[in-house]
Structure 1
Amino acid sequence: MIEAEGLTKAYGDKTAVDGVSFTVQAGQVTGFLGPNGAGKSTTMRMIMGLDTPTAGTVTVNGVPFARHTAPLREIGALLDAKAVHTSRSAYNHLLAMAATHSIPRKRVHEVIDMTGLADVARKKVKGFSLGMGQRLGIAAALLGDPQTIILDEPVNGLDPEGVVWVRNLVKYLASEGRTVFLSSHLMSEMALTADHLIVIGRGKIIADAPIKDIITGKGQSRTRVRSDQPDRLMHVLAGTGVSVELQDHELLEVTGLDPRQIARSALDNHVLIYELTPLQASLEEAYMELTKDEVEYHSLITTGAPVPAQSGGN
Structure 2
Amino acid sequence: MTVKPDWLRVKAPQWERVGNVKEILRDLALNTVCEEASCPNIGECFQAGTATFLIMGPACTRACPYCDIDFEKKPQALDPTEPTRLAEAVRRMKLNHVVITSVNRDDLPDGGALQFVRCIEEVRTVSPQTTIEVLIPDLCGNWEALKIILQASPEVLNHNTETIPRLYRRVRPQGNYDRTLELLQRSRQIAPWLYTKSGIMVGLGETDSEIRQVMQDLRVVDCDILTIGQYLQPSQKHLQVNDFVRPEQFAAWQAYGEEIGFLQVVSSPLTRSSYHAEQVRQLMEHHPRKKLLSQEF
Do they fold alike, i.e. is TM over 0.5? no
In terms of fraction of residues, the more strand-rich structure is: 1
In terms of fraction of residues, the more helix-rich structure is: 2
Q: TM-score, normalised by structure 1?
A: 0.28
Determine which structure has more spread, i.e. the larger CA radius of gyration.
1
The higher-RCO structure (CA 8 Å, 6+ apart) is 1
